[in-house]
Amino acid sequence: MIIIESIKLALSSIWTNKGRSSLTMLGIIIGITSVVTLMAIGEGVKREVQKTVNDIGTNMIFVFGGNIQIKQESGDPSANQKGGLGVSGGGFGNPASLISGDILKYQDVVEIRKIEGVEATAPMALVQGALKKNDYISASTIMGSESDISQIATGFKLKEGRFFEQDDNEKNVIVIGDSARAQLFGNNSDVIGEKVTIGSNDFEIIGLLNKSTSGSIFGDTFDSIAIIPYSTAKKLNDGKDKILRIMLKVKDSYNIKDVAKKINDNMLTRHPKEDFTVMTQDDALSMYDTILNLLTTFIAAIAAISLVVGGVGIMNIMLVSVTERTREIGLRKAVGATEWAILFQFLIEAVMLALIAGLISLGLVQIIAEIIKNKVHITPVVTTYSLILSVSVCVLVGIIFGLAPAIRASRKNPIEALRYE
């Protein structure tokens, strides 16, 4: 009953001075709204990445040119010296290596295919040039790959036509995404057999990929891809391999981490450890999570400065309130109120100020989340953790910054307080 009565008195005092209270809560509202919104956006992007990676295919391993600092999850202390597996968030090696097409070679593809447990392997080579149809140009990324890509990237489903096969090696055939179709042919969806050009070379469209069902952040990237046979891509690249990535699928009966370790060891026979990274889908998701967590934490820490400003505001208004209510404090002490009761009353008022600000913030977060969802096509996700954290922070701010004014109020001499004018 004492707690309920204290809350009622606190709410009454806040409402009586609602203008001043609103200004005091502004810092906390800004801080909590910023932090929770950033956490919601970060969580939304994480789920988007996870859906995108999972939609590409299953049991996949990627070999990248360039070294991403990773560690062995099994606890092998020598893993980093061996190239390692599993993302550690330690950072990157030479950033230029990560986009270089001169590190991975086709011989790597040949050797990886021989490893036990590997079901399918395909290189992904970047092809220079633009995809054109008459005067129309597509912003598609043109990649060279092999027929195994259809077994590995099972998320790339055909709407019409077919993927290229072994018999299509060195032929000028192409599979395009839905965005490429729209950019080159407008509303015409019957594009199988049509010709497009890369540089001065004509290519026949033999396949059209289904419009991506991945999230809106990454879906258009997949829709904008165009794939030609690797052997043809090599000719367009003046006989150079230009392999950015090697993608492979592991057989269901094999442990993906064990196969990744074998691939890593195999690659070390031809490359120094700084030249490549072997990464599973779980590793890729962990890497994205690490990066997003760092960004979210960094920006949230900056936004949290508003909480300190809000806390100082609460301390100021509570000190003013203590001064204004000096006679009330003296009267309450005169009729038997203890120091603890006075301290508790003012502390509850400070906590209620912060808590109301927090609740207003959560309402604003929902509004901002809807705006972001409709305007930017990202779906922020407000988790239970962020809700509990925001409420806890509000209570903590109220206690920390309300404690000094509450102690000051509780220690007032009742006789002097009654004489105060």
DSSP 163: -
Q: What is the mean pLDDT of residues 248-255?
A: 90
Q: Which of 258-262, 330-334, 376-380 has the highest mean pLDDT?
A: 258-262
Q: What percent of the chain has pLDDT over 70?
A: 86
Position with higher pLDDT, 385 vs 89: 385
Both tokens of 306, joined, read 């508003």
Mean pLDDT for 140-165 is: 86
Coil, strand or helix at 211: coil
Rank 47-56, 77-86, 139-148, 276-285 by mean pLDDT and report only the highest.
139-148
Question: For 88-97, 132-141, 306-315, which range has the lowest pLDDT when averaged over its residues?
Answer: 88-97
- Residues 6+ positions from 150 with CB-CB distance below 8 Å: 156, 163
Instruction: Look at 414 and 247; give whichever has higher pLDDT.
Output: 247
Whether 135 has a pLDDT exceeding 90, the answer reads no
Residue 21 has pLDDT above 50, yes or no: yes
pLDDT at position 64 over 80: yes
Q: Among candidates 24, 29, 14, 58, which has minimal Cα distance to 247?
A: 58
Rounded Cα distance between 9 and 348, Å, is 9
Element (H, E) at 200: none
- Residue 171 confidence (pLDDT) above 70: yes
- When pLDDT is cut at 50, 70 and 90, the band that residue 412 belongs to is confident
- Span of 22-36, 216-230, 382-396 with lowest mean pLDDT: 216-230
pLDDT score at 395: 87
Q: Do the beta carbons of residue 57 and residue 152 sit within 8 Å?
A: yes
Instruction: Please give the pLDDT value at position 347.
Output: 86
What is the predicted pLDDT for the residue at 283?
Answer: 82
In whole angstroms, give the CA distance from residue 204 to residue 175.
9
Provide the percentage of residues in the chain whose pLDDT is more than 90.
22
Confidence of residue 152 (pLDDT cuts 50, 70, 90): confident
Question: pLDDT class for 417, splitting at 50, 70, 90?
Answer: low
What average pLDDT score do residues 285-313 get?
A: 77
Find residue 104's DSSP bridge partners: 243
pLDDT number for residue 215: 47
Written as one string, the DSSP assignment of 307-374 is HHHHHHHHHHHHHHHHHHTHHHHHHHHHTT--HHHHHHHHHHHHHHHHHHHHHHHHHHHHHHHHHHHH
Give the three-state DSSP class for 158: strand
Residue 313 has, within 13 A of its CA and on its CB side, a CA count of 21
Going from the C-alpha of 379 to that of each of 46, 147, 216, 314, the distances in angstroms are 10, 35, 9, 34
| HSE toward the beta carbon, residue 160, CA cutoff 13 A | 14
Question: From CA 24, how far away is CA 12, in angstroms rounded?
Answer: 16
pTM assigned to the model: 0.64
Q: Are strands 201-209 and 173-176 parallel, antiparallel or unpaired?
A: parallel
Confidence of residue 89 (pLDDT cuts 50, 70, 90): very low
